[in-house]
């Protein structure tokens, strides 16, 4: 479907094309739960086809963008996310920007509502960590953001590896974990990832396996990046027969914490390694080899790049963060 005219399409245009009222279109972008799923998907499809950008300020605002930065993230339980959000807020506010934070909890409808709200507010920039980085994730709802004047930086999970992003060097993290496994001469390790098709999980797991001696046996377990879901799936794995491993590797902090919780409950005697910190582990006397990343550096780069992009100054569109080993004994 081509654009309606040379002018930007309006909510009335979308309503006419979808055969619904303007109120229904408005609710689709501001309160999607009140719109039937079939109708909502039709409206979103048409809006995407004609490059419609909602504006909750209607015709009352003459300025182009508001001094607001939006943060949309899946799960703030992840220690790296919560720390980066905290640092990012401090950095953004010191530069005169207010911050709006949305947590989606793995729900695509929540992600849609967050994106539509931010574009509607004409925010200057958005930091986005999508709920899924699998190749088959439906990102059609993000077209509205890409077609707007709002600047975008992806944080950690990426839906498009060609767009601006600040992200971890997953291959390097896998190499460092493999070096510890080799050094400690573990014979059988359980590597626990997120979703099997997740780009991050695939990169980290593949790098670990590629850098291990052929004699090291590796078992893969694919779970979820969210702590509660991962814990349930790890427990189910150990509930089926006797499982013997020298060590467990978690591909992120939440998964590693879930594995440690299951191992403690089941009195499993094995070692732990992690990519990313396990939240507050050392406060409880739990020291484990891990690949950690400088979260303050991560947040500072995100904030500085986003503000530079908003203000039209030179900036680095894609930045990779390298980790380092901690607690090696």
User: Do 45 and 97 share a domain, yes or no?
Assistant: no
User: Do 227 and 255 share a domain, yes or no?
Assistant: yes
Residue 94 forms part of a structural domain: yes
Residue 59 forms part of a structural domain: no
d(CA 323, CA 128): 21
**Segments of the chain scoring below 50 in pLDDT:** 2, 57-63
d(CA 173, CA 178): 9
d(CA 306, CA 291): 26
User: Do 19 and 160 share a domain, yes or no?
Assistant: no
CA-based end-to-end distance of the chain: 62
User: Do 177 and 223 share a domain, yes or no?
Assistant: yes
d(CA 68, CA 189): 46
Number of domains the chain contains: 3
User: Do 143 and 209 share a domain, yes or no?
Assistant: no
Instruction: State how far the alpha carbon of 200 is from the alpha carbons of 94, 116, 167, 316, 324, in Å.
Output: 32, 26, 10, 22, 17
User: Do 186 and 37 share a domain, yes or no?
Assistant: no
Task: Classify strands 290-292 and 271-275 as parallel, antiparallel or unpaired.
Answer: parallel
User: Do 157 and 203 share a domain, yes or no?
Assistant: no
Residue 60 forms part of a structural domain: no
d(CA 151, CA 145): 8
Residue 152 forms part of a structural domain: yes
d(CA 130, CA 143): 13
User: Do 96 and 160 share a domain, yes or no?
Assistant: yes
User: Do 284 and 200 share a domain, yes or no?
Assistant: yes
Instruction: Give me the pLDDT at residue 86, please.
Output: 83
Domain that holds residue 106: 66-166+294-323
Instruction: Give me the pLDDT at residue 4, please.
Output: 54
145-181 in b/e form (b: 16+ CB < 10 A) is: beebebbbbbbbbbbeeeebbbbbbbebbbbbbbbbb
pTM for this prediction: 0.80
Write the CB contacts of 84 (distance below 8 Å, at least 6 apart in sequence).
155, 295, 298, 299, 302
Q: Of the candidates 178, 176, 154, 152, which has an alpha carbon nearest to the alpha carbon of residue 166?
A: 154
Instruction: Give me the pLDDT at residue 58, please.
Output: 47
CA 249-203-153 angle, 5° bins: 115
User: Do 265 and 127 share a domain, yes or no?
Assistant: no
Instruction: Give me the pLDDT at residue 29, please.
Output: 79
Residue 4 forms part of a structural domain: no
User: Do 179 and 281 share a domain, yes or no?
Assistant: yes
Residue 103 maps to which CATH number? 3.40.50.2300
Residue 329 forms part of a structural domain: no
Burial (CB count within 10 angstroms: exposed 0-12, middle 13-18, buried 19+), residue 261:
middle
User: Do 231 and 303 share a domain, yes or no?
Assistant: no
Instruction: Give me the pLDDT at residue 64, please.
Output: 67
């Amino acid at each position: 479907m081509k654009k309606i005219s040379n002018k930007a399409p309006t909510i009335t245009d979308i309503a006419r094309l979808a055969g619904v009222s303007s109120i229904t279109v408005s609710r689709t972008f501001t309160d999607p739960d009140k719109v039937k799923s079939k109708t909502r998907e039709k409206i979103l499809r048409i809006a995407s086809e004609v490059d419609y950008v909602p504006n909750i300020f209607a015709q009352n605002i003459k300025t182009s963008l508001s001094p607001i930065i939006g943060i949309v993230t899946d799960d703030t339980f992840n220690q790296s996310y919560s720390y980066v959000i905290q640092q990012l807020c401090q950095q953004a506010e010191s530069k005169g920007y207010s911050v709006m934070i949305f947590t989606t909890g793995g729900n695509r409808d929540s992600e849609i509502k967050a994106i539509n709200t931010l574009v509607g507010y004409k925010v200057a920039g958005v930091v986005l960590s999508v709920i899924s980085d699998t190749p088959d994730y439906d990102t059609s709802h993000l077209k509205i953001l890409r077609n707007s004047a709002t600047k975008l930086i992806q944080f950690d999970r990426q839906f498009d590896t060609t767009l601006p992003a600040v992200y971890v060097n997953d291959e390097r993290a896998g190499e460092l974990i493999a070096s510890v496994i080799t050094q400690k001469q573990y014979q059988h390790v359980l590597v626990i990832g997120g979703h099997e098709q997740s780009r991050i999980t695939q990169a980290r797991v593949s790098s670990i396996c590629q850098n291990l001696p052929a004699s090291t046996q590796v078992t893969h377990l694919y779970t979820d990046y969210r702590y509660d879901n991962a814990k349930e799936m790890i427990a189910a794995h150990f509930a089926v027969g006797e499982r013997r491993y020298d060590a467990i590797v978690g591909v992120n902090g939440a998964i590693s914490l879930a594995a440690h919780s299951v191992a403690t409950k089941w009195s499993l005697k094995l070692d732990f390694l992690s990519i990313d910190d396990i939240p507050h582990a050392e406060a409880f006397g739990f020291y484990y080899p891990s690949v950690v990343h400088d979260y303050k550096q991560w947040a500072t780069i995100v904030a500085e790049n986003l503000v530079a992009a908003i203000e039209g100054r030179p900036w680095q569109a894609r930045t990779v963060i390298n980790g380092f080993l901690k607690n090696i004994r």
